[in-house]
């Protein structure tokens, strides 16, 4: 038995009988860009999240960039976000000439600490980008409250939380516009890259769609400078099939997480699921002592693991210009030192979870 972080082969075995004829159908249709498959998936995704509009694009990074462009983010604007995330969240802010203003995280959920946001707001602040890290919601009521008070946009970076809930509401429906990544290993993943933006606002949806399509709203009439960012028809068709299975898959991830938690609660710091949240465990990340040694020990038994994320963004070379040294965001820095993600996916077996857990307990015994 070869344990995978995310077992794409087992997933494919489950969906093969539906995906293969569908892919052939798309190939035979001749519609590879846009067309009925994309439209059908966008409509299905919008209904699933409970918003009016879904706009496909090439990946979750583009989704963030286009969402910010649609909101009119410009050079010199400040965007508040978390330093404990994948680089795409802050990278896109910088690409647009805006500035990331980081705010430290809550030590239990690892999401941006809403109580620290207000102190980071300046006259240049335009938006807040919370990330629903590992598939668990940031505290959206508090974030939206602060945003409303100061007239700021909120963009949910929901790359990791598609299908998760906050107070019973779908993540991705709790802000002006939200963004999704369909990177293959995501809870809903394409067979390649893909992304999505979701919004209730007609005007924002139209702008995002226009920007993603070279800034044109009619063929060869370019109202603004945009980008070329498309969700391909084949990807949309595959995602449509997988979306039907997502709730079951997320529930299976939750069961796997519960088993890990029961096994590891006395040995490690297990993930905290806030009572307001329906966590979908995109990652099952624990905090441990001697993390790097543990990682090597597990690798010796064929157990893969990953670090999400080893260096908080304010300490990355790419953000040296922000002049934020070590100690700027102590909680993010501390979590980054001890966090490790274990294999989790809908097809992991109880035997695999127990084997991994036993090896971790053995390491600390
Ligand atoms: C929090 C977060 N934001 C944005 C992205 C970017 O998504 P993509 O890889 O589809 O560009 C990711 C992808 O891993 C992510 O985890």
Q: Residue 145: what pLDDT?
A: 98
For residue 238 the two structure tokens come to 């595959």
Q: 181 in ligand 1 pocket by Cβ < 6 Å? A: yes
Report how far residue 120's alpha carbon sits from residue 285's, in angstroms, rounded to the nearest whole number: 28
User: Rounded to whole angstroms, what are the CA distances from 301 to 123, 191, 295?
Assistant: 54, 29, 10
**Which of ligand 1's atoms lies nearest the C-alpha of 59?**
10
Domain parsing of the chain, residue ranges: 8-103+110-239, 246-364
Report how far residue 250's alpha carbon sits from residue 328's, in angstroms, rounded to the nearest whole number: 35
Report how far residue 84's alpha carbon sits from residue 333's, in angstroms, rounded to the nearest whole number: 8
Q: 85 in ligand 1 pocket by Cβ < 6 Å? A: yes
Mean pLDDT of 249-269: 98
Q: What is the percentage of the chain residues whose pLDDT exceeds 70? A: 100
Q: 139 in ligand 1 pocket by Cβ < 6 Å? A: no
For residue 69 the two structure tokens come to 């462009």
Q: How far is the CA of 112 from the centre of ligand 1 (A)?
A: 17
- Most informative mutation of 159, 190, 307 for ligand 1 (most atoms within 8 A of CB): 159
Q: How far is the CA of 32 from the centre of ligand 1 (A)?
A: 24
pLDDT tens-place string over residues 305-357: 999 999 999 999 999 999 999 999 999 999 999 999 999 999 999 999 999 99
CATH number belonging to the domain at 8-103+110-239, selected among 1.20.58.220, 3.40.50.300, 2.40.110.10, 3.40.640.10: 3.40.640.10
Q: How far is the CA of 181 from the centre of ligand 1 (A)?
A: 5
Q: 157 in ligand 1 pocket by Cβ < 6 Å? A: yes
Mean pLDDT for the chain? Answer: 98
Q: How many CB atoms lie within 10 A of CB 83?
A: 28
Q: Residue 113: what pLDDT?
A: 98
The three-state secondary structure class of 127 is strand
Q: Can you tell me which residue has the tokens 């893969």?
A: 304
pLDDT tens-place string over residues 12-42: 999 999 999 999 999 999 999 999 999 999 9
Q: What is the percentage of the chain residues whose pLDDT exceeds 90? A: 99
Q: 158 in ligand 1 pocket by Cβ < 6 Å? A: no
Give, in degrees to the nearest 5, the angle at Cα 245 between 243 and 251.
Answer: 115
pLDDT tens-place string over residues 327-340: 999 999 999 999 99
Q: 88 in ligand 1 pocket by Cβ < 6 Å? A: yes
Predicted confidence band of residue 1 (pLDDT cuts 50, 70, 90): low
How many H helices and E strands in the chain?
A: 10, 14
Q: How far is the CA of 60 from the centre of ligand 1 (A)?
A: 5
pTM confidence score: 0.98
pLDDT tens-place string over residues 112-138: 999 999 999 999 999 999 999 999 999
Q: 131 in ligand 1 pocket by Cβ < 6 Å? A: yes
Mean pLDDT of 243-272: 98
Mean pLDDT of 54-64: 98
Q: How far is the CA of 117 from the centre of ligand 1 (A)?
A: 23
Q: Residue 46: what pLDDT?
A: 98
Report how far residue 3's alpha carbon sits from residue 322's, in angstroms, rounded to the nearest whole number: 40
* Side-chain-facing half-sphere of 300: CA atoms under 13 Å: 9
Q: How far is the CA of 85 from the centre of ligand 1 (A)?
A: 9
Beta bridge partners of 128: 80, 154
Q: Residue 212: what pLDDT?
A: 98
* Class level of CATH domain 246-364: alpha beta
Q: How far is the CA of 229 from the centre of ligand 1 (A)?
A: 15
For the chain, the residue count is 365
CA 213 to chain centre: 23
Q: Has residue 154 got a pLDDT over 90? A: yes
pLDDT tens-place string over residues 66-106: 999 999 999 999 999 999 999 999 999 999 999 999 999 99
């Amino acid at each position: 038995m070869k344990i995978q972080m995310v077992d794409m082969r087992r997933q494919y075995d489950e969906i093969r009988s539906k995906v293969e004829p569908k892919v052939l159908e798309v190939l035979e249709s001749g519609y590879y860009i846009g067309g009925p498959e994309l439209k059908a998936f966008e409509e299905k995704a919008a209904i699933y999240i409970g918003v009016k509009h879904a706009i496909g694009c090439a990946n979750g990074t583009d989704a963030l960039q286009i969402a910010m462009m649609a909101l009119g983010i410009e050079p010199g604007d400040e965007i508040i976000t978390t330093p404990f995330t994948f680089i795409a969240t802050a990278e896109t802010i910088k690409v647009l000439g805006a500035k990331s203003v980081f705010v430290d995280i809550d030590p239990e959920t690892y999401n941006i600490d809403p109580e620290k946001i207000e102190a980071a707001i300046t006259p240049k602040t335009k938006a807040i980008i919370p990330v629903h890290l590992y598939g668990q919601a940031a505290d959206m009521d508090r974030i939206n409250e602060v945003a409303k008070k100061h007239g700021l946009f909120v963009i949910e970076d929901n790359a990791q939380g598609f299908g998760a809930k906050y107070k019973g509401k779908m993540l991705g429906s709790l802000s002006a516009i939200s963004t999704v990544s369909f990177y293959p290993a995501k809870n809903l993943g394409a067979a390649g890259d893909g992304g999505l933006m979701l919004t209730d606002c007609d005007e924002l949806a139209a702008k995002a769609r226009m920007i993603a399509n070279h800034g044109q709203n009619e063929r060869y009439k370019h109202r603004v400078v945009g980008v070329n960012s498309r969700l391909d028809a084949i990807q949309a068709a595959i995602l449509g099939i997988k979306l039907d299975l997502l709730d079951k898959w997320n529930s299976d991830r939750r069961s796997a997480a519960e088993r890990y938690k029961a096994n590891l609660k006395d040995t490690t710091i297990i993930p905290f699921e806030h009572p307001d949240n329906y966590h979908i465990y995109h990652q099952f990340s624990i905090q441990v002592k001697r993390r790097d040694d543990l990682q090597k020990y597990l690798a010796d038994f064929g157990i893969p693991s990953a670090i999400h994320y080893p260096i908080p963004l304010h300490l990355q070379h790419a953000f040296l210009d922000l002049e934020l040294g070590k100690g700027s965001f102590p909680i993010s820095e501390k979590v980054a030192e001890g966090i490790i993600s274990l294999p989790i996916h809908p097809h992991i077996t109880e035997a695999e979870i127990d084997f991994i857990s036993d090896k971790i307990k053995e390491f600390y015994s």
